[in-house]
Amino acid sequence: MDAPAASTSTPVSVPAKTALAARPLPITGLTEEQLVVLFKKHKEPAFRATQLRQFVFGRGVESYEGVTNLSKALREKLKVEAPMYELEMASTSVGDDATKWLWKAADGALIESVQIRTPDRTTSCLSSQVGCAMGCVFCATGLSGFERHLKGHEIVEQFLQMRSKSGNPSTHIVYMGMGEPLHNYDEVLASIRMLNDPPPKGAGIGARKITISTVGIVPGIRKLADEKRQIELAVSLHAPDETTRVKLIPAARRYPIKEIMDAVQEYSEKARRIVTYEYVLLAGVNDHPEQAGELVALLQTHPCKVNLIPFNPVADSGFQRPSIDSQERFKNILDRAHIPTTIRFSKGKRVDAACGQLRRRVLALEPEVSVS
């Protein structure tokens, strides 16, 4: 992995894990009703609960100190009974284009998020699980195994805290951090509601600015299609044939390509979005011109986009990134078939924060940006 040469890193000591004990939930982990009950207990009117959510989701305050309409005495009580945030920052690595954040959850689990800055947008790349159960052999998260699902509020907090701590109003969200979002469907959907709904209920990020990337969990794609939110969908395909795909994604055995594509078509129709297929380019494994031809044959049947992701190095995975020439050769075959195709260039390499490099350690990862 790249050394964080031109970045600044702020590691802090990470205490050993603790069991998830009964503990007060943070504001985003409470329902509106639960928050109202809390205010009533302190003889405050119900609208205070709405105001507090407005401060958190709308104004993006970093702590209770910023909630200026509540008395100091009440703020001190609420800090204990309904903390503003639950994730503790364990470290940050700041690069020119990206910042990587490592968070410690209440049980000590470590998760990572990345904020990626380009001239026209700031994207928050969020994790949905601690580790991942899909076992993709080219992905550091997959190789590290699965620990647990994240709660909806733990996902939302990654966004809220990155936004408030950086002072950068994040415009886009991608579920491309650690984990398989559709393996944790209910909590991911809960987080999407909070991110998508307008303040004071949520952060007001437009559905079309939120992308879920999935390895292709068919029931999840179909369920998402029925949510009637125009979330962008990206499907990690990585191979045009079943044999290669299953070698790369062991969990793909359960969902054949044909079934995935049928579900994608249903999604496209119901959500009225054009789906993107992601394809990690691995030298000598899935980057042959013949495989590009097979991909064309597969995808020509319906409108879609393709995002080619040159492999980001993962120690001990045994894979190599293809040369620029073979990346271009692969892309040209798709271009000639009029399939809109981009090659994703990694940003934030210096903070070691790219797709597939998230490892739950104090210094490691690297995000990306797509170009035509």
Report d(CA 243, CA 253) in Å as an integer.
Answer: 9
Print the binding letters for residues 301-330 with ligand SAH: x by CB under 6 A, - otherwise.
Answer: --------x-xx-x----------------
Preceding peptide of 11 cis, ω within 30°: no
- Residue 282 contact partner, candidates ligand SAH, ligand SF4, none, CB within 5 to 8 A by sort of partner: none
Mutual orientation of helices 218-225 and 185-196 as an angle, nearest 10°? Answer: 30
Catalytic site includes residue 139: no
Residues 285, 244 contacting (CB under 8 angstroms) = yes
User: Does the protein bind ligand SAH through residue 355 (CB under 6 A)?
Assistant: yes
How many C-beta atoms surround the C-beta of residue 216 within 10 A?
27
- Residue 103 contact partner, candidates ligand SF4, ligand SAH, none, CB within 5 to 8 A by sort of partner: none
Which residue out of 125, 232, 355, 366 is catalytically annotated? 355
The distance of closest approach from Cβ of residue 181 to ligand SAH in the complex, given in angstroms and rounded to an integer, is: 6
* Beta-carbon-side half-sphere exposure of residue 334 (alpha carbons within 13 Å): 28
- Binds ligand SAH by CB under 6 A, chosen from 84, 356, 364, 366: 356
Which residue out of 44, 86, 112, 187 is catalytically annotated? 112
User: Does the protein bind ligand SAH through residue 39 (CB under 6 A)?
Assistant: no
**The amino acid at 134:** M
Q: What is the CA radius of gyration of the chain?
A: 21
- Binds ligand SAH by CB under 6 A, chosen from 143, 173, 176, 285: 176
Give the SS3 label for residue 235.
Answer: strand
Report d(CA 121, CA 370) in Å as an integer.
Answer: 12
Residues 342, 87 contacting (CB under 8 angstroms) = no
Nearer to ligand SAH, 70 or 281 (CB): 281
Catalytic site includes residue 304: no
Point out which residues bind ligand SF4 (CB under 6 A): 132, 134, 136, 139, 141-142, 179-180, 215, 356
Residues that bind ligand SAH (CB under 6 A): 138-139, 176, 180, 213-215, 236, 278, 280, 309, 311-312, 314, 355-356
Catalytic residues: 112, 355
